[in-house]
Structure 1
C-alpha cells in the first residue's frame, strides 16, 4: 500500500452523504450525551478498581468534599487513594486518549491518508529523545518539559524541511516527518545504548512504551488545559477538514486558504500531541485506529467524527490504563502494550462488522 494516497479523484473521493435536520438532532441529542455519560461513569468506576476496595459512592463523596459541596466521612487513607493516586491518573488517561484520537483524525484528514497518526511529523521520536536525555542525566523531574521541547523541536525541523522543498503539501510533510522521525529515533537508540544502565534503562523503557504511572494533578492540569485550549478549536474545524478530503484544489474553490490553514492545523495538532506525549510517553495505536473505527460508524462527516473521536478515545484510554495497572498487580504493564493487545482485535471486529461500508 502506498504511503500517501494521491488527491482523491471523483471515483475515490469520500462519499457525500446528505444529512437531514433529523439526523443532526439525533446525533447531538443521542450520541454525544450518551458517550459523555459513558465517560463519566467510566471515570467513576475506574477509580474504584485496585487493591483498595472502594465504591462509586465513596469516590463521589471524596470529590464532593474536595470541591466543598458535601461533607465526607471517608477515611483519610481512602481519601488519599482516591484524590492523590487514582483520580489524577484516570483523568489524565481520559485527556490523553481524547487528545491523541482527535490529533489522529485531523492528521488523517490533512494528509488524506487513513494510515496517518499523531506521530507522523516525528513528534513521538522527538519527545522520546528529549525524555531519554533527561532520564539518563538523572533529572526525571524535568521529563515533561524535555519531552514537550523535543516534540516541538521535531515539529519545527519537519515543517522547515518540508517548506525547503517548496510549498507544503501532504506528501512533502509526510516525507519530511519520516526523515526527522528516523533521525530522532536513531539518536534516542544511541543514547540508550551508550548510557542506559540498571534503573535508568528501566525508566527509559517504561517511558518509551508509554505509562501514566506518574500522573498527578499537574499532569491533569496540563493535559486538560491543552485539550480545551487547542483541542476544542481543532474539533470545530470539521467543515474545513471535509473540504480538504476532496483535495487542495477543491478546498481552495470552497474558499479555504489552503496553505495557511494547513500550517495552523498542523501546528495545533503538534501542540496537542506534544502535550499528551510529554505526560504519557509514546502510546501508539490510539490516534491511528480509533478515528478509523469511529469513521466506520458515523461516516466521513468531520463535524461528527471529531467530537466522537475525542469521547471514544477518552473512554478507551481510561479502561486500557485501568487494565495496565490492575491485571497483573502488583506488577504494572506499560499502557502502550495494552493499547495494541486490546485495540487491534477490537478494530478487526469493527472492520468485519462494517465491511460493506469499508
Structure 2
C-alpha cells in the first residue's frame, strides 16, 4: 500500500511577515475602495494628515471625512474582528478536538443575537444611545455563555461532547427566540437591520468600537499563545494531556471563558460573521502544521486579511447598497475550503 507523505510546511517567520505586509496594504486598499472611490495617493495623504494633525483644504473635506472618519475605523475593526474570530477558532477546535468546529458552536453568537435584536426590533435599552446594540449583544452573549456552561458542566468537568451538544442545542433555542422577535416586529427597516446583523456587517463601525474590541482580542490572543503548549497536549486527548501535566477539565474551562469573552466582544460590534473561525485555522494548519504556537502566529493575520477584503467586496458588489459581510465570507470561503480539503487529502486535526 502506498504510504501517504506528510504535507510540506511553510516557515512561519516569512509567512507571518508576508501576511503582515499584505494586511497593511489591505488596510490602505480597503480605505480607498467603496461606492465613492478615493485614489491611492489621496488615501495616503489623508491618512498622514489625520495621523499628524495636518490641514486638509476645503475641496477635499468630503473625501477626507470618508477616509478618516468612516472607512478607516471600518477596515481597522474588520481586521480586529477577523483576527479575533480566527484566534478563537483555533481555541475552540482544540477545546472540542474537532477541526470542523468554529466559535459559534458554543451558541454564544446566537445568544448575542437575542440581545442585539431586542434593541433593533423592540427598542430595548434605548437610554444607552449608540452603545445600546453593542452592550445588549455583549450582555446576552455572556448570559448565553453562563447558561451553556451551567448545562454542559458535569462532575467530570467540561467534556468536548457535552460542550458541542449543549452549545448546538441552545443555539437552536436562541435562534428560535430571535426568529419570534423578527416575525413579531413591524416590517421595514428594522427587520432589514436585524437580518444584516444576523449575517454580519461592519456598516455600523465607529472609532468608539475599536479600543474595547482590539484590547479584548489582543488579550485573548496573548493568553492563547502563552498556553500553546497546553493546547498541543489537549489536542492529543485528555489522557495524554494529563500524562504531560495538563489538567484537561480546568484548561477546557479556561478556554471556554476566553473564547466566550472574545466571541461576545467581536459579535457585539460586527454581528454574527460566520466561516472565518472555521476555515482560517484549518487552512493555516494545512500550511504550517498543527503546532499551536505556529498556528496562532499566522491565523489571526490571515483572518484579518480575509475579513478586510470580504468587507470591501460587500461594499462594492451592489454599490451603493451593501451585502452582509457574512454572505461574502461564505460564498468565497466554501469553495476555497473544499478545494483545499481535497488537495490536502482530508487533512485532519492534529496533523494526522
What TM-score results when the alignment is normalised by the length of structure 2? 0.90
1:54 equivalenced with 2:38 (yes/no): yes
- Residue 200 of structure 1 is aligned with which of 179, 190, 196? 190
Moved more, 156-165 or 112-121: 156-165
1:75 equivalenced with 2:60 (yes/no): yes
Deviation at 1:165, TM superposition (A): 6.2
Classify the secondary structure of the residue corresponding to 1:284. coil
Match of 2:25 in 1: 41
Classify the secondary structure of the residue corresponding to 1:120. helix
For the 8 Å contact 2:152–2:162, the answer to whether it is kept is yes
CA distance in 1, matches of 2:45, 2:237: 52
Deviation at 1:27, TM superposition (A): 2.2
1:253 equivalenced with 2:243 (yes/no): yes
For the 8 Å contact 1:64–1:71, the answer to whether it is kept is no
1:161 equivalenced with 2:151 (yes/no): yes
For the 8 Å contact 2:8–2:287, the answer to whether it is kept is no
Deviation at 1:173, TM superposition (A): 1.4
Match of 1:265 in 2: 255
CA distance in 1, matches of 2:157, 2:32: 52
CA distance in 2, matches of 1:214, 1:17: 42
Classify the secondary structure of the residue corresponding to 2:52. coil
Moved more, 120-129 or 54-63: 54-63
CA RMSD of aligned residues (A): 2.2
1:104 equivalenced with 2:94 (yes/no): no
Match of 2:327 in 1: 337
Task: Give a deviation string over 1:110-160, Cα, whole Å, max 9, x none.
Answer: 110112110111101100111111112224731111111111111100111
CA distance in 1, matches of 2:91, 2:190: 35
Structure 2: stretches of 5+ with no match in the other structure: none
1:224-243 counterparts in 2 under 5 A?
Answer: 224-243=214-233
Match of 1:11 in 2: none
1:287-326 counterparts in 2 under 5 A?
Answer: 287-326=277-316
CA distance in 2, matches of 1:108, 1:75: 48
For the 8 Å contact 1:88–1:217, the answer to whether it is kept is yes
Deviation at 1:66, TM superposition (A): 2.2
Deviation at 1:216, TM superposition (A): 0.8
Deviation at 1:63, TM superposition (A): 2.4
CA distance in 2, matches of 1:188, 1:165: 32
Task: Give a deviation string over 1:312-349, Cα, whole Å, max 9, x none.
Answer: 00000000000001111011111111111111111122
CA distance in 2, matches of 1:198, 1:255: 57
Structure 1: stretches of 5+ with no match in the other structure: 1-14
CA distance in 2, matches of 1:311, 1:59: 23
Task: Give a deviation string over 1:162-197, Cα, whole Å, max 9, x none.
Answer: 114642211111122122212211111112222242
Deviation at 1:298, TM superposition (A): 1.1
Deviation at 1:16, TM superposition (A): 10
Deviation at 1:205, TM superposition (A): 1.0
